[in-house]
């Protein structure tokens, strides 16, 4: 019971204060991503609340924050636009049909992500190479930075342009003040979260001084919203009567669902891995898949835009002392409280204060050490690091991570393909022995085959795999082909020290190989630790 309580909150005060800080930072993020997706800001806020509360209680690790994200919002745009177009062409037009299609799609997203957790696919995040991880955090830091620059713009006569003059200098000054407080306060005391103090101080200065600045409220209204004020999310009964509108469009729904599920899981599992490193603890990727799937399912049923883990808010939370599940619960409940009761107050918070907080997140997220090690690591790793960072900025996180893993895999396969060796010797009885060294797989098959000269070799051949591992079907096929070649020439061939798995696969492919596989040779290198200990005793 004590461990369960400590997992929920080890430091209640820190979790509560950091949760409030995160909630304040979540508001403009959720609103901005709702505008990106083309939905009402309240849909983004509802999505952030439902993602946050479910993953905080049941997610893969305490302290990680989930909500509406830009990576998923970008994927939603095409679906929503297509749905709205179809809605306008129906015999009885349906307003905002694209939004209803999004809710239906989120049901499939949730199911796919929960299946990933059930089949324990979350563990595959451990296969992501470290250069990909560095490229991920660097690229994401750049994306967060660039997204904040958009808040230095305003719309005039329907055109978006940079703010200028005194307005710009006031904005820059408030951002600098926020960053200064967040930098200096921890050096004086760590009992209060620096981000929350900075937001309160800057908001107090602008409100008390009557300074005219862009606020959360003005940001929402400029984007086409009416404000934060809303009610509790309601069950979306109508989506079950709209399945007939999907005839001819199921391909779009299912492909979008698969892409959203993949993007959400990749971003969440990468964020989980990063928070693990920061906190020096270990979360559960499979549990995160289940929780995120359940949260997206809930979003589809109750009218949220869905989402996944948010690296920026997660780092704010962890750095502010939020290490327990209570911090995520407080953030989600505070966000809902803002919508229900605190809209007038929250709408007065200067955008500059939140920009300053996110700039400090950028500084803390970027792996500055990558500049120092760039010329010390293998060239292939440096290329992967830079490529993942660039693709994250250019495209999106999912494509960047997949590209990085693919490049790393190809480089690894190429290097190992050149490692296959064959040492040759002649026994006293005239048998020629090929001692194979290195991995035998699809990439090294060609080099492996080139080591043999079946025509000129003597009549007795032994291929020794004591220092080699046959790794895949291509390797099995290569061994099968070389053995068949010697047998077709009427020569005696023996395959020794094949792994049990390889023996089974060879015999399954052709039972006739039983006469060439040598199983009676004792391998002095195959010792068990307990055997060695018994010998020493």
pLDDT of 525 > 70? The answer is no
Structural domain boundaries in the chain = 14-387, 418-529
pLDDT bracket for residue 50 (50, 70, 90): very high
pLDDT of residue 529: 44
Per-residue pLDDT at 522 exceeds 70:
no
Residue 74 CA to chain centroid, in angstroms?
16
pLDDT at 148: 86
Confidence of residue 7 (pLDDT cuts 50, 70, 90): low
Beta bridge partners of 155: 160
Average pLDDT, the chain: 87
- pLDDT tens by residue, 133-192: 889 889 888 988 888 888 888 877 778 889 999 999 999 999 999 999 999 998 988 777
Which uninterrupted H or E stretch holds 260?
helix 250-279
Q: Give the tens place of pLDDT for each residue, 210-264.
A: 998 989 888 888 777 777 888 999 999 999 999 999 998 999 999 999 989 988 9
Confidence of residue 528 (pLDDT cuts 50, 70, 90): very low
pLDDT of residue 531 exceeding 50, the answer is: no
For the ranges 51-60, 307-316, 388-397, the lowest mean pLDDT is seen at: 388-397
Q: Looking at the DSSP assignment, which residues form a beta bridge with residue 159?
A: 156
Q: Average pLDDT of 17-32?
A: 88
For residues 329 and 291, give the distance between their C-alpha atoms in angstroms, rounded to a whole number: 14
Within 10 angstroms of residue 217's Cβ, the number of other Cβ atoms is 18
Q: Check whether 530 has a pLDDT greater than 50.
A: no
- Residues 449 and 481: beta-carbon distance below 8 Å: yes
Res 299: pLDDT: 97
Asked whether the predicted pLDDT for residue 383 surpasses 90, the reply is: yes
Per-residue confidence at 526, pLDDT binned at 50, 70, 90? very low
CA nearest to 493, candidates 514, 508, 467:
514
pLDDT given at position 352: 93
Q: Is the pTM of this model over 0.95?
A: no
Instruction: Read off the pLDDT band of 108 (50, 70, 90).
Output: very high
Of 3.30.360.10, 3.30.750.24, 3.20.20.70, 3.40.50.450, which CATH number belongs to 418-529?
Answer: 3.30.750.24
- Indicate the pairing of strand 66-67 with strand 308-309: antiparallel
Distance CA 254, CA 250 (A): 6
Residues 6+ apart with CB under 8 A from 317: 18, 19, 21, 22, 63, 64, 65, 327, 328, 331
Instruction: Output the six-digit token pair for 374.
Output: 């760039």
Which run of H or E residues covers position 492? strand 492-496
Residue 32 clears pLDDT 90, i.e. is over it: no
396 vs 413, which has greater pLDDT?
A: 413
**E strands of 30-174, at which residues?**
66-67, 153-156, 159-162
pLDDT for 305? 94
For residue 37, pLDDT over 60 is answered with yes
For the cut 70, the answer to whether the pLDDT of residue 49 exceeds it is: yes
- pLDDT bucket at 491, cuts 50 / 70 / 90: very high
Helix (H) or strand (E) holding 385: helix 379-394
- 509 pLDDT above the threshold of 80: no
- 72-93 tens-digit pLDDT: 887 898 899 999 999 998 888 9
């Amino acid at each position: 019971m004590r461990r369960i309580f400590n997992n929920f909150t080890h430091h209640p005060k820190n979790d509560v204060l950091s949760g409030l800080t995160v909630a304040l930072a979540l508001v403009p993020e959720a609103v901005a991503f709702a505008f990106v997706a083309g939905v009402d800001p309240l849909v983004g806020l509802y999505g952030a609340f439902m993602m946050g509360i479910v993953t905080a209680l049941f997610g893969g690790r305490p302290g990680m924050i989930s909500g509406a994200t830009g990576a998923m919002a970008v994927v939603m745009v095409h679906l929503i636009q297509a749905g709205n177009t179809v809605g306008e062409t129906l015999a009885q037009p349906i307003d905002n049909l694209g939004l209803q299609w999004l809710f239906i799609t989120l049901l499939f997203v949730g199911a796919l992500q929960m299946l990933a957790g059930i089949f324990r696919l979350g563990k595959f995040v451990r296969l992501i190479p470290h250069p990909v991880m560095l490229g991920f955090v660097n690229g994401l830091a750049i994306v967060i930075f660039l997204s904040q620059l958009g808040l230095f713009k305003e719309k005039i006569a329907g055109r978006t342009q940079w703010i200028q003059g005194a307005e710009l200098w006031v904005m820059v000054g408030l951002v600098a003040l926020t960053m200064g407080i967040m930098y200096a306060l921890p050096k004086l005391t760590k009992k209060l979260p620096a981000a929350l103090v900075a937001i309160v101080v800057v908001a107090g200065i602008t409100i008390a001084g009557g300074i005219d600045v862009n606020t959360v409220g003005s940001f929402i209204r400029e984007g086409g919203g009416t404000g934060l004020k809303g009610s509790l999310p309601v069950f979306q009964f109508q989506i079950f009567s709209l399945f007939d509108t999907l005839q001819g469009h199921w391909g779009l729904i299912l492909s979008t669902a698969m892409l959203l599920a993949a993007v959400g899981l990749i971003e969440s599992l990468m964020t989980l891995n990063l928070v693990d490193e920061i906190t020096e603890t270990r979360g559960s990727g499979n549990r995160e898949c289940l929780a995120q799937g359940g949260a997206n399912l809930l979003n589809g049923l109750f009218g949220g835009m869905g989402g996944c883990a948010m690296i920026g808010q997660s780092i704010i939370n962890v750095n502010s002392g939020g290490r327990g599940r209570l911090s995520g619960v407080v953030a989600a409940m505070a966000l809902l409280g803002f919508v229900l009761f605190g809209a007038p107050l929250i709408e007065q918070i200067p955008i500059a204060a939140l920009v300053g907080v996110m700039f400090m997140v950028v500084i803390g997220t970027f792996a500055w050490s990558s500049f120092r090690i760039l010329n010390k690591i293998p060239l292939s790793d440096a290329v992967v690091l830079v490529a993942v960072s660039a693709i994250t900025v250019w495209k999106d996180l999912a494509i960047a991570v997949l590209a990085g893993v693919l490049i790393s895999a190809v480089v690894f396969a190429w290097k190992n393909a050149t490692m296959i060796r064959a040492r040759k010797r002649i026994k006293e009885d005239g048998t020629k022995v090929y001692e194979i060294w290195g991995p035998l797989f699809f990439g090294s098959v060609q080099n492996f085959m080139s080591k043999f000269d079946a025509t000129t070799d003597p009549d007795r051949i032994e291929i020794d795999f004591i220092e080699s591992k046959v790794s895949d079907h291509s390797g099995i096929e290569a061994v099968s082909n070389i053995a068949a070649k010697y047998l077709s020439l009427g020569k005696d061939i023996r395959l020794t020290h094949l792994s049990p798995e390889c023996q089974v696969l060879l015999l399954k492919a052709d039972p006739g190989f039983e006469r060439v596989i040598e199983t009676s040779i004792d391998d002095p290198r195959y010792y068990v630790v307990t055997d060695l200990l018994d010998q020493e005793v």
